[in-house]
Amino acid sequence: TNQPTMRLLTGDECGLIKETLPEEGRPKKIDKGPTNSCSHPITVKKGIRRIEQDVGQSRARGVMAMTWMQERTTFAALRANSSIGLWES
C-alpha cells in the first residue's frame, strides 16, 4: 500500500532547519539470531536532510517558532534576529 511518509521538520538554537524521514533511518532487520540494541545502530545521516545547505550557523539565526502555511505546502520559521523565512515543501 502507498501510505504517506511521515516527515518531521525541526529547527534549533543555531539556525539549522532539518527534515527527517524516520522510516529511512530505521535499521533493517537482519536475521542473525538474538542481538542487543547496539548491534545495528541507526545511520544518522540516512533519512535526514538539512533544508538550507549553504547557510552558516549562529545563535542570531536560532529558530524560535515554525508553522505550516497554505494548506501545508509552505512552512515558515521565525528566527531570533526577528527574520522570517519561507520554504516550499
Q: What is the pLDDT of residue 62?
A: 95
Angle, CA 60 vertex, CA 86 and CA 9 arms, to 5° = 40
How do residues 31-60 score in pLDDT, each as one tens digit?
A: 555 544 544 444 446 788 888 888 888 999
Residue 50 to residue 54: CA distance in whole angstroms: 10
Q: How far is CA 57 from CA 51, 53, 67, 85, 87, in A?
A: 13, 11, 21, 15, 18
The one-letter amino acid at 40: H
The one-letter amino acid at 41: P
pTM for the full predicted model = 0.66
